[in-house]
């Protein structure tokens, strides 16, 4: 899991499975096997790249490439090159993916997601705002700057929030 802390706003990103098949115990993802592979890889990236927020540029790069329909392997390598990820980190990510650690990380993510409150998730992705799960807040995940502004509870609003014209950002106390 990557936790972003914007002073007084806390957002969590956790590549998530949909559920565990009760018959054979396998991980089931909302959009099939390829999504499971990507989630496993991203969990390994998060676990391997050192630093609390350090994996985010890589995750962002990868998701952007995937959205542009770049083949997964090509996207992985392009982001490695673009962000100058060392061979040592690349190898550690690969070991995580193939060793079963990636699946264990996914199961830990599922456990954490299943323990959220007050609202339980019914789809993925699902965002937590300051460790709170609200179904009515999920639609704002598609606009992270607005989400940060809306859930910010510090004294001084981030400059980016003040620069948003006609935004729906309101201070949430």
| Per-residue pLDDT tens over the stretch 45-73 | 999 998 877 888 898 899 899 989 999 99
CA distance 170 to 91: 44
pLDDT tens figures, 106-134: 888 777 777 777 888 777 667 777 777 87
CA separation for the pair 90, 79 (Å, rounded)? 11
Tokens representing 68 are 């542009």
- Alpha-carbon distance 67 to 72, whole Å? 10
């Amino acid at each position: 899991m990557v936790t972003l802390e914007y002073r007084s706003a806390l957002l969590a990103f956790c590549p998530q499975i949909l559920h565990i098949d009760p018959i054979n115990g396998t991980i089931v993802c909302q959009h099939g096997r390829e999504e499971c592979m990507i989630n496993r890889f991203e969990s390994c990236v998060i676990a391997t790249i050192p630093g609390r927020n350090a994996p985010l540029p890589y995750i962002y790069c990868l998701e952007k490439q995937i959205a542009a329909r770049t083949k997964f392997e090509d996207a992985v390598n392009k982001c490695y090159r673009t962000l100058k990820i060392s061979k040592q980190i690349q190898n550690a990510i690969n070991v995580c993916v193939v060793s079963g650690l990636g699946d264990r990380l996914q199961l830990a993510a599922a456990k954490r997601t299943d323990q959220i409150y007050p609202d339980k998730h019914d789809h993925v992705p699902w965002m937590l705002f300051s460790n709170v799960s609200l179904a009515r807040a999920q639609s704002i995940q598609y606009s992270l700057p607005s989400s940060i502004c809306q859930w910010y509870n510090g004294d001084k609003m981030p400059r980016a929030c003040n620069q948003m014209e006609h935004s729906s950002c309101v201070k949430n106390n």
